[in-house]
Amino acid sequence: MKTLNLGILAHVDAGKTSLTERLLHTAGVIDEPGSVDAGSTRTDTMALERQRGITIRSAVVAFTVAGITVNLIDTPGHPDFIAEVERVLGVLDGAVLVVSAVEGVQAQTRVLARTLHRLGIPTLLFVNKVDRYGADPDAVLRQIADRLTPDVVALGRVVAAGTPAARWLPAAPQDPDHTTRLVDLLTAHDDALLTTYVRDECAVTATRLRAALAAQTARARVHPVHAGSAITGAGVDDLLTGIAELLPATEGDDTAPLSGTVFKVERGPAGEKIAYARIFAGIVRVRDRIRYRGGHEAKVTAIAVFADGDAVARDAVGAGRIARLHGLTDVRVGDHLGTPPARPAGRHHFSPPTLETVVVPDRPADRPAMHAALTQLAEQDPLINLRQDDLRQEIAVSLYGEVQKEVIQATLADEYGVPVTFRETTTVCVERVIGVGAAVEWIGKDPNPFLGTVGLRIEPAPVGSGIEFRLGIELGSMPMAFLKAVEETVRETLRQGLHGWAVLDCLVTLTHGGYWARQSHAHGVFDKSMSSTAGDFRNLTPLVLMTALRRAGTRVHEPVHRFHLDLPADLLGTVLPVLATLDAVPRSATLRGGSYLLDGDVPAGQVHALEQRLPALTRGEGTLESEFDHHRPVRGPVPSRPRWDHDPLHRKEYLLAVARRVTARPER
Ligand SMILES: Nc1nc2c(ncn2[C@@H]2O[C@H](COP(=O)(O)OP(=O)(O)OP(=O)(O)O)[C@@H](O)[C@H]2O)c(=O)[nH]1
Ligand SMILES: [Mg+2]
């Protein structure tokens, strides 16, 4: 049986969870669609999700349509939970991008559309909420073409938009206008179709066009647009047909070696780990031992797959499917099972968190429990970083925003029984290398306390290029283990630059390398005082690199968000001076109807303040959206971050070795 792993993505509140319910209902899995407002949906199951009416975690439900098993992944739309979207992207065969017919294309819609496009994920668009007052599906379609992609085609139209009686009328296959629109779009990407059409228009039948549409949708070249309402059900049956006919369901190869990806890790009632994995190839059976992440291996103790709205226990799960696997004790989000899949997980698709806060337990005795709980949460959320400072007994988490902070607080209190508060939220800056710097320490030459020669040069690299490590010495001139130790330590060291912030985008070249080969005494005992080890390189590299970095110099940059502010036109004069006090810089202002649309830049650290002031400033009528855009050099005093305990420069071995340096080293 074919499977389609389908993500439902959208800006917050566009109606993803409601649409998921409606699709389950239309597919015949549930008698009555649940309601977000009543807290009765299949996918918003956390207490917090039900209380707040927002999705926090992604969830999987399945139904069958036209002989295809569709695993539907409902994702959260709030930008604070983008990590949840991030990790499902790698397992999708297709997506439905939902756009509200009232609010139109929103900030997160653009972020998601860009990412889906970059990853080449076949995507249908669904213009939802056509029944709501103010819905304007035609205007939204124009916005989609203007702001998301011109390669879209509506497969029908809405009548009585903005009323509860709104309906979706699918275009008739022979409708000449519709045919012209389809031909225009499809021939732009398909020369064979164009040639046939030019020779004989009649040869391009409606069936042929539909097949061409499916083929180009599968290649993510074009995006069919449906519209309707998750609440009244208008247009949802036609969307279901589109999902089955236009998106590429797969039939994986069960006989191939196992290859899968873990995209979600949950804890069961007894605290055991449950991994959600997409199996790309091969088959997993209960009691199979499977390999994942480096050398880890574990036995699968139970398997469940998704079917007809439920998770059902199975003895095995085959290629193409999504399964819940029990028994993989050390598993983490992003782990590959068996052979790594053809589609590499690669870099993160969205920008990393730009805020950070120190978490403080209300009861000091809860510190170990809080630490364990936060570690578990970070495991479930690969974009959350924990930074721990043993000296100060503090732990900090990185954050996307204030809502995520509230969720962490509620989760710690409700699920782990650990009430906490947060210190003030601070901005996470970065450092960029500004010049070229080099340094070298020679083996056996003071003040180098380690048995190794390391020379490094550091220089700036283009924005977004990451940290590149190059060998400026012959590959064979040092054992591989030592080279690896240097490279790994370079990357670790650059997590904290001269001011304590992560250093981005630079090229580091190993210019010198040397070691003393393994030496033994006559009686065969390894003599550490005469033989280089990987540890020497791990300890020496930070010293050399930091000296080189100091010579190169860095500049601290702060994260800047692009904001989109919609406010009543008469208030522009009141709002502009406030923006200035928050260091927000408007880039453009467009008058649309009775309101101004302001686009501009605002430092990430001021977004929350702006959000808080907005209701009072705009009589509650203003709306603000923002997303991370770029880093810019900090103006004014340079913020620095205290160095944390994983800092290689503070490592115990290093301090011990330096101490040893002052005592005599054995003569060679
Ligand atoms: N009138 C109308 N209301 C809708 C429709 N779809 C969703 N809603 C309402 O819009 C609100 C948000 O719906 P959700 O389904 O939770 O939206 P979501 O996209 O899942 O939201 P997040 O997961 O939090 O990003 C709820 O109050 C729904 O009842 C629709 O088609 N018509
Ligand atoms: Mg939702």
Token duo for residue 503: 């250093």
Question: Nearest CA to 261 among 200, 189, 319?
Answer: 319
Q: Per-residue pLDDT for 47 more than 50?
A: yes
Q: Region 30-45: what's the mean pLDDT?
A: 91
**Digit-coded pLDDT (tens) for 198-232:** 888 888 889 999 999 999 999 999 999 999 999 99
Instruction: Tell which atom from ligand 1 comes closest to the C-alpha of 78.
Output: 25
Assign residue 606 a region: left if phi > 0, alpha if psi is -120 to 50, beta otherwise?
alpha
| Nearest ligand by distance to the CA of 19 | 1
Q: How confident is the model at residue 654 (pLDDT cuts 50, 70, 90)?
A: low
Q: Which residue has the CA at smallest separation from atom 30 of ligand 1?
A: 129
249 Cα–ligand 1 center, Å: 27
- Asked if residue 37 has its Cβ within 6 Å of ligand 1, the reply is yes
Q: How confident is the model at residue 656 (pLDDT cuts 50, 70, 90)?
A: low
Dihedral sign for Cα atoms in the order 194, 195, 198, 204: negative
20 Cα–ligand 2 center, Å: 9
Is 19:100 a contact under the CB 8 Å cutoff? no
3-state secondary structure of 67: coil
Is 608:402 a contact under the CB 8 Å cutoff? yes
Which pLDDT value is given to residue 619?
85
- Asked if residue 79 has its Cβ within 6 Å of ligand 1, the reply is no
Mean pLDDT, rounded, of the chain:
89
Q: How confident is the model at residue 57 (pLDDT cuts 50, 70, 90)?
A: confident
* CA 216/CA 144 separation, integer angstroms: 18
- Asked if residue 326 has its Cβ within 6 Å of ligand 1, the reply is no
- Asked if residue 12 has its Cβ within 6 Å of ligand 1, the reply is yes
49 Cα–ligand 2 center, Å: 8
- Asked if residue 78 has its Cβ within 6 Å of ligand 1, the reply is yes
Residues lining ion ligand 2 (Cβ < 5 A) are 16-17, 55
- Asked if residue 131 has its Cβ within 6 Å of ligand 1, the reply is yes
Which pLDDT value is given to residue 304?
95
Token duo for residue 595: 């309101």
Q: Per-residue pLDDT for 429 more than 90?
A: yes
Instruction: Tell which atom from ligand 1 comes closest to the C-alpha of 20.
Output: 15
User: pTM higher than 0.75, yes or no?
Assistant: yes
Q: How confident is the model at residue 640 (pLDDT cuts 50, 70, 90)?
A: confident
CA distances from 197 to 152, 153, 177, 531, 559 (A): 20, 19, 16, 75, 51
Q: Which residue has the CA at smallest separation from atom 5 of ligand 1?
A: 129
Is 155:242 a contact under the CB 8 Å cutoff? yes
Beta 273-281 vs 259-267: how paired, if at all? antiparallel
CA distances from 18 to 39, 40, 434, 595 (A): 11, 10, 50, 30
16 Cα–ligand 2 center, Å: 5
Exposed e or buried b for every residue in 134-165, given b needs 16+ CB within 10 A? ebbbeebbebbbeebbebbbbbbbbeebbeee
572 Cα–ligand 2 center, Å: 33
Q: How confident is the model at residue 664 (pLDDT cuts 50, 70, 90)?
A: very low
**Digit-coded pLDDT (tens) for 314-352:** 999 999 999 999 999 888 888 899 977 665 555 567 777
- Asked if residue 42 has its Cβ within 6 Å of ligand 1, the reply is no
**Digit-coded pLDDT (tens) for 555-584:** 999 999 999 898 999 999 999 999 999 999
Which pLDDT value is given to residue 386?
85
Which pLDDT value is given to residue 666?
46
- Asked if residue 76 has its Cβ within 6 Å of ligand 1, the reply is yes
Question: SS3 letters for 101-113?
Answer: CCCECCHHHHHHH
* CA 568/CA 557 separation, integer angstroms: 34
Q: In sequence order, which residues have a C-beta less than 8 Å from that of residue 511 and are 6 or more positions away?
A: 438, 440, 455, 456, 457, 472, 473
- Asked if residue 228 has its Cβ within 6 Å of ligand 1, the reply is no
The string of DSSP codes covering 29-66 is: S-SS---TTTT--SS--SHHHHHHTS--S-EEEEEEET
Say which residue, 240 or 521, is predicted with more confidence. 240
354 Cα–ligand 2 center, Å: 24
Instruction: Tell which atom from ligand 1 comes closest to the C-alpha of 44.
Output: 23
Dihedral sign for Cα atoms in the order 652, 658, 659, 665: positive
408 Cα–ligand 2 center, Å: 18
Which pLDDT value is given to residue 121?
97
Which pLDDT value is given to residue 365?
94
Instruction: Tell which atom from ligand 1 comes closest to the C-alpha of 77.
Output: 25
Task: List 173's β-bridge partners, or say none.
Answer: none
636 Cα–ligand 1 center, Å: 44
Which pLDDT value is given to residue 639?
87
CA distances from 211 to 85, 237, 415, 660 (A): 30, 20, 50, 74
| Nearest ligand by distance to the CA of 11 | 1
- Asked if residue 297 has its Cβ within 6 Å of ligand 1, the reply is no
- Asked if residue 11 has its Cβ within 6 Å of ligand 1, the reply is no
Token duo for residue 421: 């508060």
230 Cα–ligand 1 center, Å: 8
30 Cα–ligand 1 center, Å: 19
Q: Which residue has the CA at smallest separation from atom 13 of ligand 1?
A: 15
Pocket residue to mutate for ligand 1, from 8, 9, 17, most atoms within 8 A of Cβ: 17
- Asked if residue 36 has its Cβ within 6 Å of ligand 1, the reply is yes
Q: How confident is the model at residue 667 (pLDDT cuts 50, 70, 90)?
A: very low
12 Cα–ligand 1 center, Å: 9
